[in-house]
A = this chain, B = another copy of it.
Amino acid sequence: MKRKSSAPTMKDVAREAGVALGTVSKVFNGIPVGESYRLRVEQAAAKLGYQVNSYARGLKANKTGTVALILPNAYDPFFAALADNICQALARRGCRMLLTVTGSDPDAEQRCIRMVEQNKVDGIIGLTYNPALEVPAAIPFVSIDRYFSPAVPCVASDNFGGGQLAAEKLLELGCKKLLFFRIGTDVPGEPDKRLSGFQAACQLHQAEHTVLILNDREGFEPFRTFLGEHIRGGKPDFDGIFCNTDRLAHHVICMLQELGLAVPGDVQVIGFDGVRYFGYDGYVCSTIVQPVAQLAETSVNILLEEDRSNLPSLICLPVAYAAGGTTRE
């Protein structure tokens, strides 16, 4: 019988191995130690099932090997993929991930930050919508999709390039009259650039285009109304739609079909995000795919970068077009 019932400590290992406490510590920190000692310690540790207590270690070393990820939610396919990839990227670096979801509530976002602050995490990766969010200067912070200030590194997809790409693809596929649809929050963010890129490409190619932007709380119905109003004699005024997100694209496609239009026959639709059925099957629609894995990897790399004196303030990662059945190939 070992002492109490609690987990074995370094002291136990030291006693078991017949060495000093400090020696055990060195073994577990990769600090050179006599071969015979190391073996004795390792055997004793294995025998006792010893695990270093990372809290005690964190208390002393002021590093905990834990990073917090703050997300609006974990069920949205894009966020879910992000969480998954970030978790893996962190694991590769020997870190654990604390996940908090905010429900897009600014107060909850601030609470989450405070909560993880207590936990002495080594860093925070946040995808947030609180325009007044106070990020603690003491903890490394990386923002995804939202630029705060030069001091806070932001990692995002090349949203501008993605918007361009979408427009060019539609034109290349024969579309003559384009539509841009967007629905979302008022809080400015990198994704806003999708429209800019789209417009830039349209201008460059002198393509007719219309823009419709809605706020979250208005719901999808105004799009239906708009679409309905622009169909004359069964044929639409437009033949290509770029939607700000795959989710919107999906809704729009359903609306078009309900209105009797064929996709991609009458109208071609491209979304944004690269959402797949069940997370890993085919694309839900033709789309501009965000490089989720690179987004994750990059965020983690920047967050864990030792030299924080010279970090980029914005990194945009390349997107790619993927056919998903709602464009004519």
Interface centre among A52, A53, A62, A251 (most CB of B within 10 A): A53
User: Considering only CB atoms, which chain B residue lies closest to A119 in the complex?
Assistant: B54
Contact of A54 with B279 at beta-carbon distance under 8 Å, contacts A75-B84, A83-B74, A97-B100 already known:
no
Decide yes or no whether A77 CB sits under 8 A from chain B. yes
Does A258 lie at the interface of the complex (its beta carbon under 8 Å from any beta carbon of B)?
A: no
Nearest chain B CB to A8's CB is how many angstroms away? 10
Distance in angstroms between the alpha carbons of A76 and B91 in the assembled complex: 19
The contact size tier of chain A is 35 or more
Is there a chain B Cβ closer than 8 Å to A278's Cβ? yes
Distance (whole angstroms) from the CB of A224 to the closest CB of chain B: 15
Contacts A6-B62, A53-B59, A75-B279; A119 near B99 (Cβ below 8 A):
no
The answer to whether A118 and B275 touch across the interface, beta carbons within 8 angstroms, is no
Residue of B nearest to A117 (CB): B51
For A114, what are the chain B residues with a Cβ–Cβ distance below 8 Å? 51
Complex contacts, A117 vs chain B, CB 8 Å: 51
Q: A75–B64 contact, CB under 8 A?
A: no
Q: Which of A281-313 contact B (CB under 8 A)?
A: 281, 284
Is A196 among interface residues, defined by CB-CB distance under 8 A? no
Q: Could you list 7 further interchain pairs (A-B, Cβ under 8 angstroms) beyond the known A91-B100, A98-B99?
A: A55-B119, A75-B77, A83-B99, A96-B98, A247-B277, A250-B277, A277-B284
**Chain A positions near chain B (C-beta within 8 angstroms):** 5-7, 51-56, 58-59, 62, 64, 66, 73-77, 80-81, 83-84, 87-88, 91, 96-101, 114-120, 138, 246-247, 250-251, 275, 277-281, 284
